[in-house]
């Protein structure tokens, strides 16, 4: 069953939001735009495989550009960010930021894209500095962006796409269920 998205501001420009947040000349802005474009392209290609679910392509493209906006407040000097929070918090920070500017439907993807999604049990088990609630991708759009994001690193100067094997191997250390979730997406989005 598909979750209906109501996008109130169809004319919203994610590049302008990133520029207002980071400044167009900042290192983080340049990294986020490049990474967002990679994720958007991969997610839109994968969406073709599940066209029967009628994914909202406009939302996917814009949300892919904004999904990492929360890195601003993390301690990630390699990305040009010197905030006080650990990187794993960038999802909830992004949600808060986008909710404040009236884009809660885009904030959800920020919160739900980290890893392959984080459950309340994960928060407790791994003692993560996050609220103990489920932050799992639910809609097809959220799943597509979460899936596509796994293929690209923001820390690398190379635009090289990771392999399915590399991603699966890295997810296994967080539990076999994480690798299985990703493999299910591979089967769904890479026919």
In 3D, which of 150, 72, 62, 76 has the Cα closest to residue 108?
62
Which pLDDT does position 11 carry in this prediction? Answer: 80
Is residue 74 classed as helix, strand or coil in its secondary structure?
strand
Residue located via tokens 């010197």: 82
Asked if residue 8 has pLDDT above 90, the reply is no
Residues 105-122, mean pLDDT to the nearest whole number:
97
Residue 176's pLDDT is 95
pLDDT at 141 over 80: yes
**Per-residue DSSP letter, 81:** E
- 4 pLDDT more than 50: no
pLDDT of 158 above 90: no
As a whole number, mean pLDDT of residues 62-82 equals: 96
| pTM, two decimal places | 0.92
Residue 54: is its pLDDT beyond 60? yes
Q: Label residue 78 exposed, middle or buried (CB < 10 Å: 0-12, 13-18, 19+).
A: exposed
The helix-helix angle for 164-172 and 176-189 (nearest 10°) equals 160
pLDDT tens per residue, range 15-30 = 999 999 999 999 999 9
Q: Check residue 17 and give its pLDDT.
A: 96
Distance (Å, rounded) from C-alpha 81 to C-alpha 163? 28
Tell me the pLDDT tens digit for each residue of 79-112.
999 999 999 999 999 999 999 999 999 999 999 9
What confidence tier does 130 reach under pLDDT thresholds 50, 70, 90?
A: very high
State the fold for domain 14-189.
Hypothetical protein af1432 (1.10.3210)
5 pLDDT exceeds 60? no
- Write down the mean pLDDT value for the chain: 92
| pLDDT average, residue stretch 49-62 | 97
* pLDDT value of residue 10: 62
């Amino acid at each position: 069953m598909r979750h209906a998205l109501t996008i109130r501001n169809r004319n919203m420009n994610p590049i302008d939001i990133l520029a207002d947040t980071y400044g167009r000349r900042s290192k983080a802005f340049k990294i986020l735009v490049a990474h967002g474009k990679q994720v958007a392209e991969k997610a839109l290609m994968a969406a073709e495989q599940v066209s029967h679910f009628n994914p909202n392509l406009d939302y996917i493209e814009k949300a892919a550009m904004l999904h990492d906006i929360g890195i601003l407040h993390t301690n990630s000097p390699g990305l040009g960010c010197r905030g006080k929070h650990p990187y794993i918090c960038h999802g909830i920070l992004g949600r808060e930021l986008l909710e404040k500017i009236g884009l809660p439907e885009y904030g959800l993807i920020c919160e739900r894209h980290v890893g392959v999604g984080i459950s309340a049990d994960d928060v407790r088990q791994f003692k993560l500095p996050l609220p103990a609630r489920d932050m799992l991708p639910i809609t097809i759009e959220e799943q597509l962006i979460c899936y596509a994001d796994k293929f690209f690193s923001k820390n690398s100067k190379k635009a090289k796409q990771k392999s399915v094997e590399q991603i699966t191997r890295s997810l296994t250390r967080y539990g076999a269920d994480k690798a299985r979730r990703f493999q299910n997406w591979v089967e769904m989005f890479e026919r």
